[in-house]
Amino acid sequence: MTWRPQYRSSKFRHVFGKPATKESCFDGVPITRSVQDNHFCAVNPRFLAVITECAGGGAFLVLSIHHTGKVDPHHPKVSGHRGNVLDIKWNPFNDYCIASCSEDTTVKVWEIPPHGVFKNLTVPWKELQGHSRRVGLIEWHPTANNVLFSTAYDYQVMIWNLDCPDQVIKNPVRTISHHTDVVLSMSFNTDGSLLATTCKDKRIRLMEPRTGNLLQDANCKTHKAHKVLILGNLKMLLTTGSSRWNARQMALWDQENLSVPLLQEDVDGVSGLLFPFYDPDTSMLYIAGKGDGNIRYYEITQEKPFVHYLTEYRSLMPQKGMGVMPKRGLDVSSCEVFRFYKLVTIKSLIEPLSMIVPRRSESYQEDIYPMTAGNKPAMSADEWLSGINKDPVLMSLKPGSRVEESYPELSMGKGLGSSLDTRRSQSRPGLLQLSYIQDQLGIKSDKEDSSHTESEDNRSWTLVSNGQDPALCSPPKTENELRMKFHKQQEEIRRLRELLNQRDVRIKQLELEIKNIRNSQPQTF
């Protein structure tokens, strides 16, 4: 019997990385020189935040995701920390809220203005004081609103409820004290009922975050774990680290039994950290090396051998950190399934890198875009603290599907809160309402068209005015006001272009359907 190679069928076998052009990169960014093993970058569909190098305290930049090109060296910063900023994370349910932690032992939560930062921000919305040493890592709860986790060099993991009315919060709702050394990484499962951590004491811990009960505690002598990920609902954990001989290594663990890893695989012999990223919608795992330009990607299955190597993206520009765009911010028209933002320190550059599934069709590919976690919380902080667990609220990425806008439920004062809510009631960039497309193509009846006219006019008015009352729009008086007006106009132009592109795609689809119907009809002679 002749030997035949076994080929595994996968729709993601030919995924490739497509770096952005020079014009679509962020150039001239003073990226931090910190040696902390964090990502240093956070991204959402509206803003990109990056920790910068500065003197006299810590700061980070917040840039509009579409404001690419050369960054002004005097661009205003978020600079309220007295020590270097070590980590930043966007609130998954509010695109205008970001948390940061620093060497000054505090965690601060900031409200970003709807049109970006045009002057230095120094006063946070919330300040969390509880750690006794520098805070190195923060994470938001994946389903509960306004629940934040922080860990510091005092070996404590603290849970904060931001719905507290106080501006300065000194008492966390819970403190987890199982660790004997610095916590290196934290990861939640899908519904946030489990928390996995890696520690400098070489141990992997799995616990209930609400109660702090320790469920699993493992120490593998042949694998020193640095980063950990809970792989969605697969009931498996993945860690990256180093082997006994200092080779970069990844290991796969059974969530129910952490005594022995299911799989250990050496990646390469290069020194440097490995950043793992997992996409539960496609079951794809991305391994990016700190200090090199390579990104390897795999597909995870529940059957042996569990990890299937796909291919590797290679680049000569080494990355210091990585930001990841949420799924709701991807370009589904080009079959983009993942997007990185690489921090290239040697060139002061932030380079977007899109992972694309090659498809010939221009229509929406439902098989690679299942329902995904959206920007709406499944429950409040009080509900989660009372003992409730809920799966994330799912949304569709299909153009035309209704998407909830991520606006805050914050008690910041009635005047400011109401104005921010008005501005945030706009549709998310890149998605169009299905009723609007049908109205433009004449699909609905005249009666339905007339019933939708007023609502569509109101929405179009909101888009044109960018969330402001046109009666209050006065000519810009300062350079910052002029810059703000310019960015608002660019945003409006971009939205109109997206509208035209969506209409062109829909017209092509209708023409193709008409052609197919004509071809299917029998020809008469």
**Alpha-carbon distances, residue 316 vs 154, 270, 295, 480 (angstroms):** 38, 15, 12, 38
Report yes or no: 365 and 83 within 8 Å, Cβ to Cβ: no
CB 51 within 8 A of CB 32: yes
Give the angle 188-136-293 at the CA atoms, nearest 5°. 80
Can you tell me the distance from the alpha carbon of 123 to that of 138, in angstroms, rounded to the nearest whole number? 19
DSSP string, 58-117: EEEEEEETT--EEPPTT---EEEESS-EEEEEE-TT-TTEEEEEETTSEEEEEEPPTT--
Residue spans per domain, the chain: 16-373
Calculate helix-pair angle for 479-520, 434-441, nearest 10 degrees.
Answer: 60
Nearest Cα residue to 350 out of 19, 79, 29: 29
Give which of 314, 318, 336 is closest to 326, Cα–Cα.
336
Buried b (16+ CB within 10 A) or exposed e, 68-90: beebeeebbbbbbbeebbbbbbb
| Rounded Cα gap, residues 422 and 47, in angstroms | 19
3-state secondary structure of 518: helix
Helix (H) or strand (E) run with residue 19 in it: strand 16-19
Collapsing DSSP to helix, strand or coil, 464 comes out as helix
Show the tokens assigned to 16.
Answer: 């490739």
List Cβ neighbours of 297 (8 Å cut-off, separation of 6 or more). Answer: 15, 284, 285, 286, 287, 310, 311, 312, 313, 355
- List per-block mean pLDDT (blocks of 10 residues) for the chain, which spans 525 residues: 56 92 93 91 96 87 93 92 95 96 96 92 94 96 96 96 94 94 95 94 93 90 92 92 90 92 89 92 93 92 90 92 94 93 94 93 87 94 94 91 48 37 37 40 42 43 40 59 79 85 85 82 60
Q: Which of 429, 398, 475 is nearest to 67 (CA)?
A: 429
What residues pair up with 385 in beta bridges, in sequence order?
Answer: none
Asked if 206 and 193 touch (Cβ cutoff 8 Å), the reply is no
pLDDT for 524 equals 55
- Provide the pLDDT for residue 486: 82
Q: Which residue type occupies 143? A: T
> How far does Cα 19 stand from its chain's mean position?
18
Cβ-count burial 183-220 (b if 16+ within 10 Å, e if not): bbbbbbbbbbbbbbbbbeebbbbbbebbeeeeebebeb
As to burial, measured by CB atoms within 10 angstroms (0-12 exposed, 13-18 middle, 19+ buried), residue 28 is middle
Architecture per CATH, domain 16-373, reads as 7 Propeller (2.130)
Cβ–Cβ under 8 Å, residues 137 and 101: yes
Report yes or no on whether pTM surpasses 0.95.
no
Q: Which residue has the tokens 């609103």?
A: 145
d(CA 428, CA 462): 12
Range 463-467, long-range pairs (CB < 8 A, 24+ positions):
463/426, 463/427, 463/492, 463/495, 464/492, 466/115, 466/423, 466/426, 466/491, 466/492, 467/114, 467/422, 467/423, 467/424, 467/425, 467/426
